[in-house]
Structure 1
Amino acid sequence: METRSPSALAEEWIERWSPTEGSAGGKVEASVLDGELPREQPDLCLDAILEILGRIDTSSPNHLLGVLAAGPLEDLLTYNGDVVVAEVDLLARRDPGFRLLLNGVWDSRIKPNILARLAKYRNNPW
């Protein structure tokens, strides 16, 4: 897999998942952030997620936030939660937008110890 910058990954992901006129949003093909990146490059994945958060509305649940929560962040916590949980904990503590994103994650595949560590931030699921 070629390595791209978090900024380039964010731009591609937002373009693929942004609603366009006459559609509900989301193109047919997924981005690398929706597939291999959460499994193979957790740090780059988290950096790209943060880059996306800096570019989208994080004031309330919305389409892009939902896709980001139930896609890349959920996959990252599922496959590499042990690797990123300390940083995710810190981000959730400091950033209300990240905390909102974390509340949109579906937790059925995430290890119980990861969920337990992040439970204090996940009190408002949407």
Structure 2
Amino acid sequence: MLLDPKIVAQFWLAYWDKSIPERERELSSWVEDLLANAIWKDAEYSLAIVEAIHEADHEQKLIEVFAAGPVEDLLANHGNAVINRIEQKARSDNAFAQVLGGVWQNTMTDEIWNRVKAVRDTSIWADPRR
């Protein structure tokens, strides 16, 4: 049985929230393993978690770690399976396009990377080469 992506998102956000005392954050450390395993094995579940994290972090407080972590890893591992929905989300949600601006190519194929670059917004990022 898989945990609800919204619950995973809340724990992931709590784990990375530096305003929460470290001892409490450590209780959420399991979520990193869960997310890493999900991203390695299950494109659909991973995409649902990424969408839930994005929806829960309205102020994009954790945009750097979100972009360079789950979003980049999802695209690197399951780009072919998720790229159509990633493109659609970026076109309809500028905040998500900004998240994509913080993604690097990693192990994405050139085809997937070019499609990401076509829909991302790098305007908030210091390094436009991303």
Shift of residue 82, structure 1, vs aligned partner: 0.5
Tell me which residue corresponds to 1:56.
57
User: How many residues get paired?
Assistant: 119
Tell me which residue corresponds to 2:128.
none
Query: Are 2:90 and 2:120, in contact at CA under 8 Å, matched by a contact in 1?
Result: no
Instruction: State the TM-score, normalized to the length of structure 2.
Output: 0.80
Query: Are 2:9 and 2:52, in contact at CA under 8 Å, matched by a contact in 1?
Result: yes
Shift of residue 53, structure 1, vs aligned partner: 1.2
Counterpart-to-counterpart distance in 1, 2:86 and 2:59: 16
Query: Are 1:89 and 1:118, in contact at CA under 8 Å, matched by a contact in 2?
Result: yes
Shift of residue 120, structure 1, vs aligned partner: 1.5
Deviations 1:88-125 (A, max 9, x none): 01111111111011111122322111011222223516
Counterpart-to-counterpart distance in 2, 1:57 and 1:4: 22
Counterpart-to-counterpart distance in 1, 2:57 and 2:90: 17
Q: After TM superposition, where is structure 1 displaced by more than 6 Å over at least 4 residues in a row?
A: none
| From 95, 98, 103, the counterpart of 1:97 | 95
Tell me which residue corresponds to 1:112.
110
| From 22, 31, 34, the counterpart of 1:32 | 34
Tell me which residue corresponds to 1:86.
84
Counterpart-to-counterpart distance in 2, 1:93 and 1:21: 33
- Matched ranges for 1:11-22 at <5 A: 11-20=10-19
Shift of residue 40, structure 1, vs aligned partner: 0.8
Query: Are 2:98 and 2:121, in contact at CA under 8 Å, matched by a contact in 1?
Result: no
What letter matches 1:90 in structure 2?
Answer: Q
Runs of at least 5 residues in structure 1 that lack an aligned partner in the other structure: none
Runs of at least 5 residues in structure 2 that lack an aligned partner in the other structure: 126-130
Instruction: State the TM-score, normalized to the length of structure 1.
Output: 0.82
